[in-house]
Amino acid sequence: MTAQARIIEMEGIRKVYDTGKVKVEALKGIDLVVTPGEFVAIVGPSGSGKSTLMNLVGCLDTPTNGRYRLAGEDVSKFGRDDLADVRNRRVGFVFQGFNLLPQISAFENVEMPLVFGGVSPRERKRRVEELLSRVGLGDRMEHKPTELSGGQMQRVAIARALAMKPDVLLADEPTGNLDSSAGGDIMELFSELWKQGGTVVVITHDMTLARRASRIVEIHDGRIVTDKPAAA
């Protein structure tokens, strides 16, 4: 397997938060490789370092030590604007709290990363319409987030995450804020995206969602304790 075939390649990643007097070591040496087409679930109790890992994988933060290559690019030492570009092109985020911009429509929310990516208005319109139809919201494009249900909001968020055709879809407890029916729909959507060839990394402690993944990575106290294919 060549390096180019690895989407995520982490080596000896450490992250230390310096909160004045106390130094907290959130990650104590993580080695993680994700290849295209994998559906990885990262599980672990709260405080285990999953969120820190998610921030690093998503290039929202940089590691204290270690090397991180995202789609072959070493991003460990990138500056803020370069990281912003990497997030825009390579990572699609889905959050527990949806994090849609409340004052603009579903259409404009999905359009936002395309604006950052410098996509032409015409191409933006075409792609946003296609994506919203794909998540089943073709008839809700002009609705504001407050006019949508939780499940619908999360689907807008997924459409937004997919807008720039990212290398990896990164989700943090995507069903954590939904009832079981809406949560089930979202899980189904993730499975579909994976089956269509997408790479998905989900952080969750919802084991029903984790079991849909192709691989489960368990973190405890800043270290990977188990890393194995999900039981079929």
Partner 1 sequence: MRARDVSVVLHLFSRSARLQKKRATLTIASIAWGTVTILLLLAFGEGLKRQLSTNEKAMGENLAIHWPGATSRVWKGLPEGRPIRPRIDDIEALRERIPEADVWGEMRTGRTNLTYGRKTVNGQLSGVNWIYGDPRKHYPRPGGRFLNARDEEEKRRVVFLGYEMAEDLFGKEDPVGKTLLINNSPFTVIGVMQKKTQTSAYGGQDKNHAVIPITTFKAVMGRDNLWVLVIHARRSEEMEAVLAHANEVMAARYGYDPKDDHVWGIWNTVKGQAVGDKIRLGMEIFFGIIGALTLVIGCVGVANIMYAVVKERTREIGVKMALGARRGWITGPFLLEGMLYTFVGGLAGAAIAIVIVTMLDMIPQEGARVLQFMGKPTLSWPIGAATVAILGTAGLLAGYFPARRAAAIDPAATLRYE
* Shortest Å, Cβ 219 to partner 1: 17
Q: Using the rule CB under 8 A, is 50 a contact of partner 1?
A: no
* Shortest Å, Cβ 140 to partner 1: 18
The alpha carbon of 220 is separated from its chain's Cα centroid by a whole number of angstroms, namely: 20
* Shortest Å, Cβ 85 to partner 1: 6
Rounded to whole angstroms, the Cα distance separating 192 from 190 reads: 5
Q: Using the rule CB under 8 A, is 24 a contact of partner 1?
A: no
Q: Using the rule CB under 8 A, is 51 a contact of partner 1?
A: yes
Helices and strands, number each (H, E), in the chain: 7, 10
Q: Using the rule CB under 8 A, is 64 a contact of partner 1?
A: no
Rounded to whole angstroms, the Cα distance separating 121 from 162 reads: 17
- Which spans in 135-229 are helix H? 150-162, 180-195, 207-211
Residues 6+ apart with CB under 8 A from 6: 33, 34, 35, 69, 72
* From candidates 11, 29, 36, 55, binder to partner 1 by CB under 8 A: 55
* Shortest Å, Cβ 38 to partner 1: 22
- Select the span of 28-36, 41-49, 70-78, 107-115 touching partner 1 (CB under 8 A): 107-115
